[in-house]
Chain A
Amino acid sequence: MPVLEIRGLTKAFGGIQALAGIDLHVNKGEIVSVIGPNGAGKTSFFNVITGMFEPDAGEIRFEGESIVGLTPSTITHRGVARTFQNVRLFPNLTVLENVMVGRHSRTSQGVFGALFRTKAFLQEEQEIEDHARDVLSFFGSRLRGYREDQPAFALSYANRRRLEIARAMATEPRLLLLDEPTAGMNPKETIELTGLIGSLRDERGYTVVMIEHDMRVVGQVSDRVVVLDHGIKIAEGDYDTVASDENVIEAYLGRPVNNGART
């Protein structure tokens, strides 16, 4: 069954057609990579799916139900989580607090519980903390121990990216959207994260859609690759097919770093 079905998705910003009628199906347990040159509309694609922008036209179905027009928080509640290309953490909250915020949509205690410290409240707080620690442990000891209590802005760049994924995981998504998860990481960190993206599916059972510029990462983990250019899907298929596709090579030509045609 498709987890995500998108049909004819269109979005324009002023005169710029960021998305010009995109169709996409993502099946449960798949890892799909979205690639394309800068300004192709990849991030806009995520923004529209997660409800941060409403599409001009088109249909988005998550697990069979339309999510067009819902607020981002409702969509998160339904089971879609994301990370941001430019890493958007809550910089002054601690690492643990950042992840605890991610538990918001899976918990329910309000003012009353907090004020009277009811049993249910205390239990839920404990559950939130335990779950947050569990999610942080996905990255080994990197975000555990003393780091838990550090403000997020004090983290290294790679750790910020990890924390963002952990925060998204805390929302218990079934569909995880990663926007350039390895951008800014050194080669070693990239290799490590590539492995973890595999375990996101294998261990945690998420379906993953990932925007990525690093072709080695794309080649290693993707079941399927989708190529966008000027808001249009110009190719789709497994990595080797797409990498040798004429249209794709053309789309990437003229870019100073011509990664797309390599390997």
Chain B
Amino acid sequence: MSTTRSITDFETKDVVIQGALAALAISFIAAIGMLGEFNNRILITSLLSLGYLAIGWIPILFGYRASAEETIEGIDPPIKGPRDLLVGGTVGAIAGIVVSAFAWLAASVDLTGVFIHTGPGMRSALTFGQGIGFGSLLMIVFCTALGVFGAALHVMTPTVRSVIGVALGTTIVIAIFEADAKELFKGFRIRGVASILYSPTGGLTIVSAAAVTALVVAIKVYGKGHGPRVVYERVKLHHTSQTPEMQRRNSWIWGAAGFAVYLVIPQILGKSLSETAVTVGLFLVLGLGLNIVVGQAGMLDLGYVAFFAVGAYGIAMLTSPFRPAQWIPQLDFWVALPIVIIVAAFVGILIGTPVIRMRGDYLAIVTLGFGEIIQKLFLSDWWKPVVGGAQGITNVPSVSIGPVEFAGANSKMVFYLVAILVAGVFVLSHRLQYSRVGRSWAALREDEQVAEAMGINTVTAKLLAFAIGAVIAALAGALFAAKVGSVFPSSFKLLVSLVILVVIIVGGLGSLRGIAVGAIVLIGVLGGPTLPGLLREFGRFKLLIYGVILIYMMLKRPEGLLPSVLRSRELHHSELTQDAWLDKAGDFEEDEEVTA
């Protein structure tokens, strides 16, 4: 039975805790300097800056959460109503009060010894540039309003919520990615749109922001039933209803269309977006390679960057005219590449051999050690005559095929190369996964002893995974060296291994699509270990955000954004075993029939 609740029916304690947590999050963002730094970036002229967005979502989220009950199965949730709005508003108000108190504290006590960003700048940002009294009032109103808005999101029907959410989300995305959107408009030869949308001083104008929001609302409301999914289904239906030879002809047409898109993409993306795409591509390749070792064969390798380094240094040592070891003949990229591949496979087996006897945590620690050792070796005096020590190797020539040169500085050209590598590694990963080799890895991951007892030589299977992973990383490394034109030991730090691992964990271990999403979201939007992503402002806070995302994912969605079937089966084992128990009851029933 659903019940209407009186307006005061809530736990004071819970509301206070939620408000305090929201305040803590806001104060933290302000204290680390994010608010101040992001405030320089205007999203909507004279309305919203990135800084206030960075704190504004917090009261919304906490208002939403506090007003939403946990639904208990079997009991109807209480009817939504004004009580929820009051709860959201109270949470927001408490958050605002505590944040103001923090601002006041920062103004009266010098906290800069601990948090260097808590100076007058932060105080002024937290009080909207007003005096402490009026400013505090503004902050409380700001948080309360957003808290009520969050609660309102909960109260409205899911349809309305999704329309409002998508509309506001789209507007904010368009505002945040202003620079990239401008590039795209340029690429599509409609630069005029950008000048209408964005004000000359940066940010959407209020009018254009409202227009975009209204447009998205209109599309959501009137465009129902014409969404991309519906269109896709229709195309698919059309496709399957055709004769095989028509299908074959169509697949040629699709192939040609795909190739045309491939040729056009970097031209539309422009130079800087192509650069980002190249970085994403390289990390995607690394992610897919590491996925073979970790996701498919189940060996946690924390030293994966070593193979990336082998590929990069291999190409540099063989192709650069300034290679430290001049006795090594200078080769063309395409001649050097097969050698690098073979060496990488060999190194993979070499490192693999001692470590495959170990399992789980031990394997992780030992591979981490090997990764560090290799980086130190490239830095060492011992290897300096060959790899150049800290000075690395410079003037690595770029790749060229016949007369076509893929100059490193020309990211549009490099895109073509990286896209092919990505596609190749995708196909390789996919095909391996559904093959005898892939099944042997899956068995290995599930139960090594039993896999061995079922006839799988676990030593060869593991070494094969290591070697293939190494070759894929080396291919990425080779392209990296040729693109950047130089290699230094500092490019191959532990952090790179960890970032690759985070990409595949956040995306979904074992899921190829998931890893693509992970690479785009983490590397493309936030940025790689050294390179900036689309959100350049996030650069300094990148690792912090990585950590937050990782913790959140581990708690709420350990199978990743787009999980593989296998992995979600594994992590929701207990739920499924319950079903299995019910299934078992069915099993016995069936037994009666069969034996009767």
Contact = CB atoms under 8 A, between A and B. Distances in A.
Nearest to A124: B436
A124 B584 CA distance: 34
Interface stretch (B72-80, B84-92, B587-595): B587-595
7 interchain residue pairs of minimum CB distance: A105-B455, A114-B435, A76-B455, A90-B446, A156-B587, A156-B584, A154-B580
Interface in B426-466: 427-428, 431-432, 435-440, 442-443, 446-447, 449-458, 464
Contacts of A76: 453-455
Given A52-B449, A88-B447, A104-B436, A171 B455 contact: yes
A189 B570 CA distance: 29
B583 interface: yes
A49 B576 CA distance: 36
Contacts of B447: 88, 90
Interface residues on B, range: 35 or more
Task: Name A's interface SS.
Answer: helix
B11 interface: no
Contacts of B577: 153-154
A109 B436 contact: yes
B458 A73 contact: yes
Given A104-B439, A104-B454, A186-B588, A192 B569 contact: no
A52 B448 CA distance: 12
B573 A167 contact: no
Task: Name B's interface SS.
Answer: helix
Contacts of B566: 92-93
B233 interface: no
A224 B450 CA distance: 28
A233 interface: no
Interface in A149-176: 151, 153-159, 167, 171
Contacts of B439: 93, 97, 100-101, 104
A135 B536 CA distance: 58
Interface of B: 427-428, 431-432, 435-440, 442-443, 446-447, 449-458, 464, 468, 566, 569-570, 573, 576-577, 579-580, 583-584, 587-588, 590-592, 594-595
A90 B450 contact: yes
A221 B454 CA distance: 26
B436 to A, nearest CB: 5
Nearest to B453: A72
A103 B454 CA distance: 8
A82 interface: yes
Nearest to A111: B437
Contact of B436 (A72, A77, A128): A128
A193 B279 CA distance: 58
Interface string A124-162: 110010000000000010100000000101111111000
B454 A140 contact: no
A262 to B, nearest CB: 24
